[in-house]
């Protein structure tokens, strides 16, 4: 996919982004350890269907915003997603979120529903039901990297040494996927950058440290963790080695009426890279006719 590089100017931050196509906007938010270009195969199909795809870099994960992660909590990223949506269309936009991006879209649907037209989340259950998954000891083991990242000194050493942990996460999360050499190098370059290593650890440490949360967003905290106010399409890969598919079985408890939960076969965590045809078909059907 040939993306152009743009900047989305918002009242919170100017967000560098990859963009392609013309038509109604779909904003795609990436996760960790990932890059907006992972949306390339899905974007190609959405563009062919008459959509404009905009895939911003998360705050703190582009050279122009690397120093802008004072408060790395989940609400910061969700508020960013709402701000980008408002800047692109005050009436709300369609959004897709993967991994960290899934939590962003889920929280926008709960706390800033006016910013969202239709939303899709991938690879992570809704915030309102994620706690149940985290209470499973087997799932805790799969999330070992989260605990590792909270051990100061050790985490920095592991990530600075080489990219083997990044490769391991991709390989175990999507066991049937072999990224292209070009994309693997793109991921290595991003997560070999000292600034992005530091910001990755900030994000995971904020999960367990409220002092790292933005006090200006405290009033949105309870709302953002509640069931979404808008229906969402929640997608999971049947072979996901990060958060396994059984943890999506109760996902509808944290969703608004009219939501859907879909499991994509022959796909793992990076389902939009592994099965872009099926994911695009489901996404476009969910979005329906753009206004």
Q: For residue 272, what is the domain's CATH number?
A: 3.40.50.1820
Give pLDDT, residue 132: 77
Tokens of 270: 């990076």
- Say yes or no to pLDDT of 291 above 60: no
- Residue 29, number of CB atoms within 10 A of its CB: 30
> Containing domain of residue 208, as a range?
4-287
Tell me the pTM: 0.96
Residues in the chain: 291
**Which residues lie below 8 Å from residue 112, measured CB to CB, with a gap of 6+?**
78, 79, 82, 85, 220
Contact 212, 75 (CB under 8 A): no
Bridge partners of residue 19, in order along the sequence: 4, 54
**What is the arithmetic mean of pLDDT over 221-242?**
89
In the chain, the number of structural domains is 1
Spell out where 102-158 has E strands: 116-122
pLDDT tens digits for range 65-115: 999 999 999 999 999 999 999 999 999 999 999 999 999 999 999 999 999
């Amino acid at each position: 996919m040939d993306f152009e590089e743009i900047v989305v100017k918002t009242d919170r931050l100017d967000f560098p982004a990859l963009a392609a196509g013309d038509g109604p906007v779909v904003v795609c938010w990436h996760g960790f350890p990932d890059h907006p270009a992972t949306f390339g195969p899905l974007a190609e199909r959405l563009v062919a269907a008459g959509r404009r795809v905009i895939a911003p870099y998360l705050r703190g994960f582009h050279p122009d915003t690397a120093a802008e992660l004072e408060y790395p909590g989940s609400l910061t990223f969700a508020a960013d997603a709402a701000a980008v949506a408002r800047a692109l269309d005050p009436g709300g936009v369609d959004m897709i979120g993967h991994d960290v991006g899934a939590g962003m879209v889920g929280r926008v649907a709960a706390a800033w529903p006016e910013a969202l037209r239709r939303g899709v989340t991938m690879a992570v259950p809704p915030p309102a039901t994620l706690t149940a998954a985290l209470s499973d000891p087997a799932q805790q083991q799969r999330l070992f990297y989260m605990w590792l990242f909270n051990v100061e000194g050790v985490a920095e050493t592991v990530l600075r040494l080489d990219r083997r942990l990044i490769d391991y996460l991709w390989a175990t999360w999507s066991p049937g996927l072999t990224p292209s050499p070009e994309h693997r190098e793109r991921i290595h370059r991003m997560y070999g950058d000292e600034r992005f290593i530091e910001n990755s650890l900030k994000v995971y440490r904020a999960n367990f440290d409220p002092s790292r949360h933005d006090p200006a967003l405290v009033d949105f905290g309870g709302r953002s963790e509640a069931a979404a106010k808008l229906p969402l399409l929640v997608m999971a890969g049947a072979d996901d080695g990060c958060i396994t598919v059984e943890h999506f079985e109760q996902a509808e408890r944290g969703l608004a009426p009219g939501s859907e939960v879909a499991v994509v076969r022959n796909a793992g965590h990076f389902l939009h890279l592994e099965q872009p045809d099926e994911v695009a078909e489901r996404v476009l059907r969910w979005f329906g006719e753009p206004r």
